[in-house]
Amino acid sequence: MRRAARTDLNQKMIVSALREAGATVQHLHGVGQGCPDIAVGHRSLTYLMEIKAPGGSLTPQQLEWHQNWRGHAIVVENVEDALRAIGVIDAD
């Protein structure tokens, strides 16, 4: 039996900021099996993002998913991480 998908408290703020920056966002957290929380479309590119609370870590299932994924996926903890990932703000 699969448990209900849980979202981190910062997800709503990150999704809102991405949309304000002109990105489209599709929630994926209900997919399970380690799949990232959101798909983000921006400037004809797609980014898969796992949203974690600051200091949070990937579950074993998420870690396995990220190790096996052959595309681009990133873990973000805050709005700045997410906007940096899609190139809206410069990397440090």
Sequence-distant (≥ 6) Cβ neighbours of residue 36 within 8 angstroms: 28, 48, 49, 50, 62, 65, 73
CA distance 12 to 19: 11
What is residue 43's predicted lDDT score, i.e. its pLDDT? 96
| Cα dihedral sign, 57-27-35-50 | negative
User: What is the token pair recorded at 10?
Assistant: 């910062």
Task: Write down the domain spans for the chain.
Answer: 11-85
Q: Give domain 11-85's CATH number out of 3.60.21.10, 3.40.1350.10, 1.20.120.1200, 2.40.50.140.
A: 3.40.1350.10
Burial of 20 (0-12, 13-18, 19+ CB in 10 A): exposed
| β-pairing verdict for 38-42 and 45-51 | antiparallel
pTM: 0.87
**Whether pLDDT at 3 is above 70:** no
What is residue 1's predicted lDDT score, i.e. its pLDDT? 40
